[in-house]
């Protein structure tokens, strides 16, 4: 997996952003090859704002189903707790990214408030789905599919 080099300008912008918003709760979520790094801030406003790779949630996930998957832990946490999430997600497809974000937000909420752990665990939001693509083996067409066999 290739790693992205972070320039000094990007690093300075990230430090500035962190200093402006204050304390945050950090967690990482993974699914297949997707990795989501979550910074969860307590919001001063009355809206849950989620920014993924410097784009709004609705712009990043045009399908409502995927944005609902990503927001589901915040909805489960309740309307009384308002958060802003800044998310950096890399790799995988859109579905895997949405599920990685769900796991990361769930973990960050547990760091914020330990009492949420039971309700998140009951919905299986804290379970890491470890299924990954099996590698292709030598002499086979795919991971398990073998070439056609002929008797004569």
Could you write out the DSSP letters of every residue in 17-64? HHHHH--EEEEEEEETTEEEEEEEEE-SSSS-EEEETTEEHHHH--SH
Q: How far is CA 53 from CA 3, 56, 74, in A?
A: 16, 8, 19
Q: Residue 94 falls within a domain, yes or no?
A: yes
Is 128 part of a structural domain of the chain? no
DSSP conformation class of 150: -
In total, how many domains does the chain have?
1
CATH of the domain at 34: 3.30.230.10
Task: Look up the domain containing 111 and give its range.
Answer: 24-122
pLDDT above 80 for 97: yes
Assigned domain for 115 exists: yes
- Tell me the pLDDT tens digit for each residue of 42-78: 887 767 789 999 999 999 999 999 999 999 999 998 7
Q: Is residue 9 part of a domain?
A: no
Residue 77 falls inside a structural domain = yes
């Amino acid at each position: 997996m290739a790693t992205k080099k972070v320039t000094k300008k990007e690093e300075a912008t990230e430090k500035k952003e962190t200093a402006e918003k204050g304390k945050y709760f950090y967690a990482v979520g993974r699914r297949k090859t997707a990795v989501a790094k979550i910074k969860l801030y307590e919001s001063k406003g009355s809206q849950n704002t989620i920014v993924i790779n410097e784009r709004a949630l609705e712009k990043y996930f045009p399908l409502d189903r995927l944005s609902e998957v990503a927001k589901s832990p915040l909805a489960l946490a309740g309307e009384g707790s308002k958060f802003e999430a800044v998310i950096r997600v890399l790799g995988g497809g859109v579905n895997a990214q949405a599920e990685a974000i769900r796991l990361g937000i769930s973990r960050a909420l547990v760091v914020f408030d330990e009492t949420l752990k039971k309700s998140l665990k009951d919905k299986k939001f804290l379970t890491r789905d470890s299924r990954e693509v099996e590698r292709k083996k030598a002499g086979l067409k795919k991971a398990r599919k073998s070439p056609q066999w002929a008797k004569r």
